[in-house]
């Protein structure tokens, strides 16, 4: 979000941002020699209404009264983020008039380009709320979405927010830091599907990203693994289920390269497609597997004499094979990394269950675009203690259920102007942050 709202931020458009700087606002941008190749154009916003949680700099949080405040419950306000509810009226978007000249400028004068630039400004009307408490720090009774609490604070999805700014007339309120095209090892960025998934009446498109990796090969392997995991989740198959793998076909790739603090990193994105027939066939196999009688399996356990870890409770069959139902969809939430407490393990598993529900139903982006969350019923839990390095850790699994009625409710929500793709664990964690049972 910007430090100050106005009606003409064009002076900042195309400025380069320092590499490695995490606290960003548009005033951090630098007009360098290669900025002369960057211009801008205005694009109508279409009146799309949405709510987003935006990153803010220290300067911005200070102006909102959200810095240097202690932690605790509502009334002792601590802000970590800002939530902006807005109607998009337009965007100011950067364009490169001569890509070849821009690439040559950055190549011949590397000190006149960085890996990021101010590439877009958002214009609209709306309001800004600052976060004052979350989770167990709320200190108030859980109330319905958006309900008021004493002190002008509202609770939404387990987070308490306080209204800080209202902008009733169209102003430019936020900006985006975009990768410099030349830094992508080409004079063009990735295709549109990296940001917005295409749609097809014949099936479902999936996208997976690797995150930072040391090499292209490692980045591709991580992205391909992520695509397979998404395909399993969409088909309602547990990761540890038997060899039932839905058919997902790789459609396109995008490889990004960037340098940070002298280290070159790679990030891969892969676009996959799963047709409806393959998805239905995989689900049918899982259903048949779930109905088949289970055979008792004895697994020998070899323990070192010096290791005296407590015996872990046996989990139910659903941790191995996701149940099938004609009344809705079961999902299993788990987290690869153990937690120090049972409460932490439950929170991680619950967040992952909401993420799996969004993928399996294909309705996660629709729910997020409308400021709501998917109603995942908690049917069962399994918490396994483990002894690692002399300390006790916990790993949790949660069996969740999304009813057909809940899916129908989500489908009835207003459709966003463009498909949204948001499936980060942090957003699933916010959607799942409710009192731990």
Return the pLDDT at 275. 83
pLDDT for 33 beyond 80:
yes
| pLDDT score recorded for residue 87 | 95
pLDDT (average), residues 396-405:
91
pLDDT of 388 higher than 60: yes
* Residue 285 located in a structural domain: no
For 184-212, what is the mean pLDDT? 75
Domain that holds residue 366: 325-432
Cβ pair 269, 254 in contact under 8 A: yes
Quick one: tokens of 257? 């390269």
Do 69 and 126 share a structural domain?
Answer: yes
Q: Any idea which of 16-25, 50-59, 414-423 has the lowest mean pLDDT?
A: 414-423
Tokens of 358: 């969004």
* End-of-domain residue from the set 167, 188, 209: 188
My answer on whether 235 and 344 are in the same domain is: no
Distances (CA, A) of 140 to 2, 81, 101, 240, 353: 31, 20, 59, 40, 25
pTM, two decimal places: 0.40
Lowest mean pLDDT: which of 75-84, 95-104, 256-265? Answer: 75-84
pLDDT score for 9 = 92
Q: Stretch 211-224: mean pLDDT, rounded?
A: 85
Dist CA 209 CA 404 (whole Å)? 30
Q: What is the pLDDT of residue 59?
A: 64
Please identify, among 149, 166, 188, the residue that sits at the C-terminal boundary of a domain.
188
Residue 17 included in any domain: yes
> Is residue 297 situated within a structural domain?
no
Residues 262 and 217 in one domain: yes
Whether 122 shows a pLDDT value over 80: the answer reads yes
The predicted structure's pLDDT at residue 306:
44
pLDDT greater than 60 at residue 296: no
Does some domain include residue 318? no
Instruction: Please report, rounded to a whole number, the percentage of residues in the chain having pLDDT higher than 90.
Output: 14
Would 398 be classed as within a structural domain? yes
pLDDT for residue 85 is more than 60? yes
- What 3-state DSSP class applies to 246? coil
On whether both 229 and 160 belong to a single domain, the answer is: no
| Residue 206 shares a structural domain with residue 178 | no
**What pLDDT does residue 285 have?**
65
pLDDT confidence of residue 245:
54
Look at residue 435 in the predicted model and tell me its pLDDT.
40
**35 and 183, same domain (yes or no):** yes
- 361 located within any domain: yes
Same-domain check for residues 19 and 133? yes
Residues 340 and 200 grouped into a single domain: no
Q: Please give the pLDDT value at position 370.
A: 66
320-343 pLDDT, tens digit per residue, is 888 888 888 898 888 767 788 888
pLDDT at 288: 63
Q: Which two tokens stand for residue 157?
A: 């999805």
Query: pLDDT > 70: what percent of the chain?
Result: 68
Give yes or no for residue 205 having a pLDDT over 70: yes
pLDDT at 120: 92
144 pLDDT band, cuts 50/70/90, is: very low
Q: Considering the domain boundaries, does residue 310 fall inside one?
A: no
Question: 157 and 205 in one domain?
Answer: no
Give 325-329's long-range contacts (Cβ < 8 A, gap of 24+): 325/401, 327/403, 327/404, 328/401, 328/402, 328/403, 328/404, 328/406, 328/407, 329/236, 329/357, 329/360, 329/361, 329/401, 329/402, 329/407
Higher pLDDT, 235 or 111: 111
- Tell me what pLDDT residue 401 has: 93
Contact 61, 125 (CB under 8 A): no
Considering the chain, what is the average pLDDT of its residues? 75
- pLDDT in the model for residue 148: 46
Q: Look at residue 425 and tell me whether its pLDDT is greater than 60.
A: no
**What local confidence, expressed as pLDDT, does residue 198 receive?**
86
Mean pLDDT throughout 279-307? Answer: 58
**Is 183 in the same domain as 198?**
no
pLDDT band at 377 (very low <50, low <70, confident <90, very high): very high
What is the per-residue DSSP string for 193-241? GGTS---BTTEEEEEEE--SBSSHHHHHHHHHHHHHHHHHHHTT--TTS
pLDDT at position 7? 94
Residue range 348-370: mean pLDDT, rounded = 79
Same domain, 270 and 144: no
Residues 174 and 223 grouped into a single domain: no
Torsion of the alpha carbons at 14, 129, 7 and 370, rounded to the nearest 10: 80
CB 380 within 8 A of CB 318: yes
Pick from 30-44, 67-81, 225-239, 256-270 the range whose average pLDDT is largest. 30-44
The band of 355, judged by pLDDT with boundaries at 50, 70 and 90, is confident
163 bridge partner residues: 129
pLDDT of residue 349: 86
pLDDT of 51 > 50? The answer is yes
Tens-digit pLDDT profile for residues 187-200: 345 777 887 888 88
For residue 287, the model assigns a pLDDT of 60
Q: Spell out the residues 6+ positions from residue 300 whose beta carbon is closer than 8 angstroms to its own.
A: none
Number of structural domains, the chain?
A: 3
The region of weakest confidence among 213-222, 251-260, 263-272 is 251-260
Indicate if the pLDDT at residue 121 is higher than 60.
yes
Listed residues 155, 188, 221: the one ending a domain: 188
């Amino acid at each position: 979000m910007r430090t100050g709202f106005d009606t003409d931020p064009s002076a900042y458009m195309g400025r380069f941002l320092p590499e490695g700087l995490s606290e960003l606002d548009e005033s951090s941008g630098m007009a360098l020699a290669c900025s002369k190749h960057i211009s801008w154009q205005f694009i109508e916003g279409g009146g799309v209404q949405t709510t987003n949680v935006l990153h803010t700099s220290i300067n911005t949080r200070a102006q909102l009264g959200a810095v240097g405040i202690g932690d605790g419950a509502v009334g002792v306000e601590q802000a970590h983020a800002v939530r902006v509810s807005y109607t998009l009226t337009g965007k100011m978007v950067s364009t490169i008039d001569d890509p070849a000249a821009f690439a040559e400028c950055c190549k011949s004068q590397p000190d006149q380009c960085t890996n990021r630039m101010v590439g877009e400004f958002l214009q609209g009307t709306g309001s800004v709320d600052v976060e004052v408490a979350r989770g167990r720090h709320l200190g108030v009774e859980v109330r319905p979405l958006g309900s008021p609490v004493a002190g002008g604070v509202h609770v939404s999805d387990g987070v308490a927010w306080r209204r800080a700014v209202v902008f009733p007339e169209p102003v430019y309120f936020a900006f985006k830091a975009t990768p410099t095209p030349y830094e992508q090892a080409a004079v063009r960025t990735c295709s549109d599907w990296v940001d917005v998934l295409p749609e097809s009446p014949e099936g479902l498109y999936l996208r997976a990203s690797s995150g930072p990796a040391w090499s292209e090969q490692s980045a591709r392997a991580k992205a391909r693994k992520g695509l397979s995991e998404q395909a399993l989740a969409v088909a309602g198959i547990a990761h540890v289920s038997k060899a039932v793998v839905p058919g997902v076909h790789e459609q396109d790739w995008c490889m990004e390269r960037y340098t940070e603090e002298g280290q070159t990193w790679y990030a891969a994105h892969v676009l996959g497609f799963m047709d409806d027939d393959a998805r239905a066939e995989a689900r049918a196999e899982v259903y048949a597997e779930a109905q088949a009688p289970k055979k008792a399996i004895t697994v020998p356990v070899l323990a070192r004499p010096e290791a005296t870890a407590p015996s872990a409770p046996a989990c139910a069959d659903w941790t191995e094979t996701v149940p099938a139902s004609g009344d809705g969809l079961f999902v299993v939430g788990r987290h690869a990394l153990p937690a120090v407490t049972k409460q932490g393990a439950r929170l991680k598993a619950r967040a992952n269950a909401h993420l799996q529900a969004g993928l399996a139903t294909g309705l996660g982006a629709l729910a997020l675009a409308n400021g709501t969350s998917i109603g995942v019923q908690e049917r069962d839990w399994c918490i396994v203690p483990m002894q690692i390095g002399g300390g006790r850790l916990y790993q949790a699994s949660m069996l969740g259920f999304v009813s057909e009625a809940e899916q129908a409710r989500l489908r009835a929500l207003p459709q966003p102007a463009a498909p949204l793709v948001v499936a980060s664990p942090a957003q699933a964690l916010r959607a799942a942050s409710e009192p731990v049972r």
